[in-house]
Amino acid sequence: MRKYSVFAVVREAMRGHKGWEAQWASPEPRKEYDAIIIGGGGHGLGAAYYLAKEHGITNVAVLEKGWIGGGNTGRNTTIIRSNYLYEESMHIYEHSLKLWENLSQDLNYNVMYSPRGVMMLSHNVHDQQSFKRHINANRLYGIDNEWLTPEQAKAYCPPLDISKTARYPINGAALQRRGGTARHDAVAWGYARAASDRGVHIIQNCEVTAIRRGPDGRVVGVETSKGFIGAKKIGVSAAGHTSVVMQTADVRVPLQSQPLQALVSEPLKPIFPCVVMSNSVHAYISQSDKGEFVIGAGTDQYNSYSQTGGMQIITHTLDAICELFPMFRRVKMMRQWGGIVDVTVDRSPIQGITPVPGLFINAGWGTGGFKATPGSAHLFAHLIAKGEPHKFAAGLTLDRFRTGRLIDEAAAAAVAH
Partner 1 sequence: MSGANRISGWGRLTPAKTARFTFDGKSYTALEGDTVASALLANGVHLLGRSFKYHRPRGILTAGPEEPNALLDVSRDAARRQPNVRATVQEVFDGMVTSSQNRWPSLALDIGAVNDLMSPFFAAGFYYKTFMWPKKAWEKVYEPFIRKAAGLGEAPKEEDPDHYAGRYAHTDVLVVGAGVAGLSAALAAAKSGAKVMLVDEQPEVGGALHYDTGVKINGKDGFTWAQETAAELKAMDNVTVLSRTTAFGYYNHNMIALCERVTDHKAKPGKNEPRERLWQVRAKRVILATGQIERHMVFENNDRPGVMLASAGRTFLNHFGVAVGQKVGIYTAHDSAYEAAFDLKRAGISVPAIVDSREKPGEAVLAQARAMGIEVLTGHAVLTVGGKLRVNSMTVGRHAGSATRKIAIDALLVSAGWTPSVHLFSQSRGKLRWDAETQRFLPGTYAQDSLSVGACNGTDDLQATIEEALAAGELMAKAAGAEGNGKIEITGEAPFSWTGGMIGAAEGAGPDTTVKAFIDFQHDVCAKDIRLAVREGMQSIEHIKRFTTNGMASDQGKLSNMHGLAIAAEMLGKDIPQVGLTTFRQPYTPVTFGTIINHSRGDLFDPARKTPIHPWAVAKGAEFEDVGNWKRAWYYAKPGEDMHAAVARECKTVRDVAGIFDASTLGKIEVVGPDAAKFLNLMYTNAWDTLKPGKCRYGIMTREDGFIYDDGVVGRMAEDRFHVTTTTGGAPRVLQHMEDYLQTEFPDLKVWLTSTTEQWAVIAVQGPKAREIIAPLVEGIDISNEAFPHMSVAEGKICGVPTRLFRMSFTGELGFEINVPADYGQAVWEAVWARAEPMGACPYGTETMHVLRAEKGYIIVGQDTDGTVTPDDASLNWAVSKKKPDFVGIRGLKRPDLVAPGRKQLVGLLTKDPNGVLEEGAQVVADPNEPKPMTMLGHVTSSYWSSNCGRSIAMALIADGKNRNGKTLYVPMADRTIAVEVVTDMVFFDKEGGRLNV
Q: Restricting to residues 303-362, name those near partner 1 by CB under 8 A.
A: 306, 308, 310-311, 314-315, 318-323, 326-337, 345
256 binds, among ligand FAD, partner 1, none (CB under 5 to 8 A by kind): none
Nearest distance from C-beta of residue 413 to ligand FAD, angstroms: 12
- Write down the least CB distance from residue 239 to partner 1, Å: 17
175 or 239: whose CB is closer to ligand FAD?
239
* Closest distance to ligand FAD from the beta carbon of 37 (Å): 9
The Cα 31–Cα 298 span in angstroms is 42
CA distance 51 to 196: 12
Least Cβ distance, residue 322 to partner 1 (angstroms): 5
400, 406, 409, 415: CA torsion to nearest 10: 70
Residue of 32, 55, 144, 169 that binds partner 1 (CB under 8 A): 169
∠ CA 381-383-384, nearest 5°, is 65
> How wide is the angle at C-alpha 122 spanned by C-alphas 150 and 141, nearest 5°?
105
Compute the distance between CA of residue 127 and CA of residue 144 in angstroms, rounded to an integer.
Answer: 18
Q: Quick check: helix, strand or coil at residue 4?
A: coil
Contact 259, 327 (CB under 8 A): no
CB of 208 to partner 1, least distance (A): 18
Please write down the HEC assignment for all residues of 194-239.
HHHHCCCEEECCCCEEEEEECCCCCEEEEEECCEEEEEEEEEECCH
- Asked if 92 and 396 touch (Cβ cutoff 8 Å), the reply is yes
Q: Give least dist CB 224 to partner 1, A.
A: 17
Part in contact with partner 1 (CB under 8 A); list of ranges 51-59, 60-68, 358-366, 374-382: 60-68
- Look at residues 240, 232, 241 and name the one whose alpha carbon lies nearest to residue 209: 241
Q: What are phi and psi of 80, to 5 degrees?
A: -120, 130
Q: Which residue is nearest to ligand FAD (CB)?
A: 41
- State which residue, 131 or 365, has the beta carbon closest to partner 1: 131
Q: Give CA–CA dist 175/195, Å, rounded.
A: 35
Contact residues toward ligand FAD (CB under 6 A) are 38-44, 63-66, 70-73, 75-79, 207-208, 237-239, 241, 245, 260-262, 296, 339, 341, 365, 367-371, 417
By CB under 8 A, residue 23 contacts partner 1: yes
Q: How many residues does the chain have?
A: 417
Provide, rounded to whole angstroms, the least separation between the CB of residue 23 and partner 1. Answer: 5
Residues in CB range of 9: below 8 A, 6 or more apart: none
Q: Nearer to ligand FAD by C-beta: 61 or 331?
A: 61
Radius of gyration of the chain (CA): 21
Compute the least distance from the CB of residue 233 to partner 1, in Å.
Answer: 27
When the beta carbons of 137 and 285 are compared against ligand FAD, the nearer one is 285
- What is the rounded distance in angstroms from the CA atom of residue 230 to the CA atom of residue 32? 4
Letters for 77-96 (x = contact with partner 1 by CB under 8 A, - = none) are ----------x--x------
Rule CB under 8 A: choose which of 215, 252, 270, 301 binds partner 1: 270
Residue 85 vs 211, nearer CB to partner 1: 85
d(CA 44, CA 56) in angstroms, rounded, equals 17
Helix (H) or strand (E) holding 141: helix 125-141
Site track for partner 1 across 112-151, x = CB under 8 A: xxxxx------xxxx--xxxxxxxxx-xxxx---------
Residue 198 sits in the site that holds partner 1 (CB under 8 A): no
Q: Is 40 helix (H, G, I), strand (E, B) or coil?
A: coil
User: Which residue's CB is nearer to ligand FAD, number 42 or number 150?
Assistant: 42
Least Å distance, CB 6 to ligand FAD, is 30
